[in-house]
Structure 1
Amino acid sequence: MNLPPVSPPVLAALEQLVAVVARLRSPDGGCPWDLEQTPQSLIPYVLEEAYEVADALRRDDRGSIIEELGDLLLQVVLQSQVAQDQGQFSLEEVAQGIADKLVRRHPHVFGTVTVADTDEVRRNWEAIKAAEKGSSLPRGALIPKLQRYGQTLPPLTAATKISRKAAAAGFEWETVDGVWDKFAEEIEEFREAIAQGDTAHQQAELGDILFTLVQLARWHGLDAAEALHDTNQRFVQRLARVEALSEKPLDQQTPDVLDRLWAQAKLELQRPS
């Protein structure tokens, strides 16, 4: 297998990062904070850095992308160093494992398999993945995967992946009209739950609405998580403009004034700069 050579400066930079982290974790003069960390205590930082990378990518900010990818890379190296200190595994095993996996799952690049398009690449990936786990998706194999999505991913992302996998397995409406009918049904059931005053029931029906909205997004080729992210950004931007337009604190304004300022802010932000 012929692989392109890795640039010596890249290897040197990675080696320096590994050495810096090892020094921070050294019992002989290392950093007390780094020495106190465990795989579990570092979980919030892994999540935070991943989201900050996503934000930098959305903004297409080169400097921020470089910085945030570095912060995320630090979490990989630090987790591996902590594991090595505990006698569990090393960064070498982590890197070798993912390299081997990529080679196995790209037989059209590293082997003799021929593919027609990206859809065939995805199908091959899933088939190889199933074979690696000792399964060709027998009855019941789908459920642990869906459970894992629900446990490990942000709710909207999990709902999207669960929806897609269930649909691929045949659990799908015949047309999008059925999804719209289901959405109307869930709205009505939520209204009834609100009227009844049972909080647990209300939560369940609200969840049904959100999950059905994810189904609609999937049918129309939209990303529900991205859509909500964009709406959050627009709301904050508009509210910031309302605050700038207001002559006094927002909590001292009347609803009518706030409505007028909101409409003005929305109009101003829609105008081309």
Structure 2
Amino acid sequence: MGSPSSTPTLAALAELIAVVARLRDPEGGCPWDREQTHASLVPYVLEEAHEVADAIRHGDDQHLAEELGDLLMQVVLHAQIASEEGRFDLAAIAAGLSAKLVRRHPHVFAEAEAADSAAVKQLWEAIKTEEQIQRQAANTTEAQTSASPLSDRLAGKVRGQPALAGAMTISKKAAAAGFEWDGIDGVWEKVHEELDELKEAVDEARASGDRAHAQEELGDLLFTLVNVARWCGIDPEAGLAGTNRRFLDRFSRVEAALGGDLGGRSIQELEGLWQQAKAQIRAENGSPASP
């Protein structure tokens, strides 16, 4: 394989840029691609990023290469849109990224030292904090005297993240700043408190039809469960993704057992088939049956 700067790599990137530009061409391009804006493409950026993560979890190189291509397409398309408006292009994106990587890795490109990954992370965070302070100072005088610098940084950091990932980011940063329980028992107490409040809010919503409060309480419970995940050192996103896969595997077996038609079946029958599906999967995976 050639290096990233090899001729075949550059040629392939140049071809991709040309293809995307042709799709956006007002004369003979694709109507759908021509209509897209940065805002309209947001759902697709998120979807492609999640599909990349899913391909990684499944360990399928062919699928991963394809999904990374789809994600790269989003980057090139956004660059093309901005280029048409004279704001920036893919070259500016790449140059800015290279400069940022060099700046944030002084232990590689300069004289700083970092003995292990923990030291690298600490150095990285210090540099990012300094960059944020400089940006704030360049924007407004008010930003220089912000009374909530951590909150301001986190608001910008999580703005583009999925809610679950954003919750974990906020939880970690707030805990590192000292906003933390004394032990995990306090986290569990908060879980039960939020669960009780959600139950009460749901009952209110069923009576009044107003779901706004219930939605707020659901968010509070989910955020607290993210804190449980942080305390236990587990990834809530990976956990939920695994649950989705397991549910679909079991559900497909229930559907197959009923010939694809669930209509008119009792919950008792469906639950029985669900338990059978779980047992089948355990047996296939070589796991002992639960009592």
| TM > 0.5 fold call | yes
1:248 positional shift = 7.5
Distance 1:182 1:126, change over 3 A: same
The 8 Å contact of residues 132 and 153 in structure 2, kept in 1 or not, is answered as no
Residue 77 of structure 2 corresponds to: 78
Distance 1:5 1:260 in 2: 55
Residue 249 of structure 1 corresponds to: 261
Please state if 1:13 is matched with 2:12. Answer: yes
* Structure 2 stretches lacking a partner, 5+ long: 137-143, 286-291
Distance 1:24 1:257 in 2: 52
1:70 positional shift = 1.1
Please, which moves more after superposition, 123-132 or 139-148?
139-148
Residue 139 of structure 2 corresponds to: none
SS in 1 for 2:164: helix
Query: Alpha-carbon deviations, 1:14-39, whole Å to 9, x = none?
Result: 11212222233334443333333222
Residue 90 of structure 1 corresponds to: 89
Residue 187 of structure 2 corresponds to: 179
Distance 2:69 2:61 in 1: 12
Residue 46 of structure 1 corresponds to: 45
Residue 134 of structure 1 corresponds to: 133
1:206 positional shift = 2.1
Residue 209 of structure 1 corresponds to: 221
Query: Alpha-carbon deviations, 1:94-115, whole Å to 9, x = none?
Result: 0000000000000111111111
SS in 2 for 1:69: helix
Please state if 1:222 is matched with 2:221. Answer: no
The 8 Å contact of residues 26 and 35 in structure 1, kept in 2 or not, is answered as yes
Please state if 1:260 is matched with 2:272. Answer: yes
Q: Which amino acid aligns with 1:154?
A: P
Task: Give the TM-score normalised by the residue count of structure 1.
Answer: 0.90
Distance 1:15 1:185, change over 3 A: same
Residue 34 of structure 2 corresponds to: 35
Distance 1:170 1:69 in 2: 38
Please, which moves more after superposition, 179-188 or 237-246?
179-188
Distance 1:251 1:110, change over 3 A: same
SS in 2 for 1:152: coil
Percent identity of equivalent pairs: 51
Distance 1:21 1:93 in 2: 17
Residue 115 of structure 2 corresponds to: 116
Distance 1:41 1:250, change over 3 A: same
The 8 Å contact of residues 149 and 162 in structure 1, kept in 2 or not, is answered as no
Distance 1:29 1:196 in 2: 56
Distance 1:82 1:203, change over 3 A: closer
Residue 22 of structure 1 corresponds to: 21
Distance 2:248 2:120 in 1: 40
1:133 positional shift = 2.4
Q: Which amino acid aligns with 1:47?
A: L
1:43 positional shift = 2.2
1:79 positional shift = 1.1
The 8 Å contact of residues 56 and 65 in structure 1, kept in 2 or not, is answered as yes
Residue 104 of structure 1 corresponds to: 103
Superposed CA RMSD in Å reads: 2.2
Match for 1:163 among 157, 166, 171? Answer: 171
Distance 1:250 1:18, change over 3 A: same
Query: Alpha-carbon deviations, 1:39-96, whole Å to 9, x = none?
Result: 2222222222212211211111111111111111111111111111111111111000
Q: Which amino acid aligns with 2:245?
A: Q
SS in 1 for 2:284: coil
Distance 1:248 1:115 in 2: 58
* Structure 1 stretches lacking a partner, 5+ long: none
Please state if 1:239 is matched with 2:239. Answer: no
Distance 1:36 1:195 in 2: 44
Q: Which amino acid aligns with 1:31?
A: C
Query: Alpha-carbon deviations, 1:205-231, whole Å to 9, x = none?
Result: 222211111101100001112111111
Please, which moves more after superposition, 18-27 or 251-260?
18-27
